[in-house]
Amino acid sequence: MKKLVLALFMLGTLAASQGRIAWYGEREFDENVASLERQGYTVKYVDSIDEKTLSRYDVLVVCLAEPSQKEKEAILDFVEAGGGLLILYNAMTHSSIEEVLSGYQLEKTAEGDSNIVFPFLPEDKIDELRKRISISQKGKGRTLAVGYDPVAFQAVSLLFDVDKLLEFGMDWLCQDWHAEQTQSEIAKNRFSLAVVLGIVAVALIAGYVLYRKRKLKAPEKPESKESEKAEKIRELKARFVYGEVSRDEYQRELERLEHSD
């Protein structure tokens, strides 16, 4: 019963999540990830990217990593279907954000659209960041790409730090319709699994109870015919020894018992 209650609690927690985030790549932003979790997001680290894995999440974060071409194709399909993508790339090893986006078959949007991402920054700061931050739309999904340069990034950290980036990015990337669809599908699959496991558990318990009842009520096995015959022969020999029957009677009865079925 406790396990069932715990399973139902976990299902409720997953269904209530603001959004499920798959984090791929470097894990150096643990504190920022913890901040997202406190806000109600569910964050899981993944070591590989494929269609099945991405189907369980609303947003994929690619953090300072370079997925394979096959993984990028899965990412593109995920975004076109409505998933959100946050790319944190190393601005010191890539010459431009366009170079990064092209690897995912994405394009940088018009300059004016960047204002959507920075409603809290003055115009001069937006100009500084625009060269390494871009938003774009692909199919039904959205993408936010950010060039991470520890030196330059910290220069504007008072106004735009990693926490603020992730907070605003997830609010924008976790589109309501897609998040609700994902959470509903996950809850449905997990509930179905819980029902199956519950049925199996009940069946096992019922089978064990019936087995115990039958074992306790099972009558003692009757002696076999061979055992009965042997017992009668022993009794006959005892009667002969004590003179209760004559030798002829003993021989006749013994032959009868030995040839009986």
pLDDT, position 126: 58
Domain that holds residue 161: 19-173
Where helices occur in the chain by DSSP H, the ranges are: 2-16, 30-38, 51-54, 69-80, 97-102, 123-130, 150-155, 162-173, 176-217, 225-241, 247-259
Whole-number pLDDT of residue 147: 82
Domain boundary among the residues 173, 202, 217 is at 173
Task: Report helix, strand or coil for 105.
Answer: coil
Full-model pTM: 0.58
Question: Does residue 75 belong to any structural domain of this protein?
Answer: yes
CATH number at residue 146: 3.40.50.880
Q: Are residues 136 and 230 in the same domain?
A: no
Q: 241 and 152, same structural domain?
A: no
User: How far is the C-alpha of 81 from the C-alpha of 49, rounded, in Å?
Assistant: 16
Please count the CA atoms within 13 angstroms of the CA of 237 that sit on its side-chain side: 7
Residue type, 142: R
What's residue 17's pLDDT?
62
pLDDT reported for residue 47 = 94
Domain match, 58 and 149 both: yes
**Which domain-ending residue is among 173, 202, 234?**
173
Per-10-residue mean pLDDT, the chain, length 261: 43 58 91 90 94 93 93 94 90 83 78 46 59 79 82 50 77 64 55 73 80 66 66 81 80 80 61
pLDDT of residue 59: 94
Same domain, 70 and 147: yes
- pLDDT recorded at residue 67: 94
Q: Which residues contact 244 (CB under 8 A, 6 or more apart)?
A: none
Is 186 part of a structural domain of the chain? no
The pLDDT, as a whole number, for residue 115 is: 45
CA dist 106 and 108 (Å) reads 7
- Per-residue pLDDT, 49: 95
Structural domain count of the chain = 2
- Give the domain-ending residue among 173, 194, 216: 173
Whether residue 8 is contained in a domain is answered as no
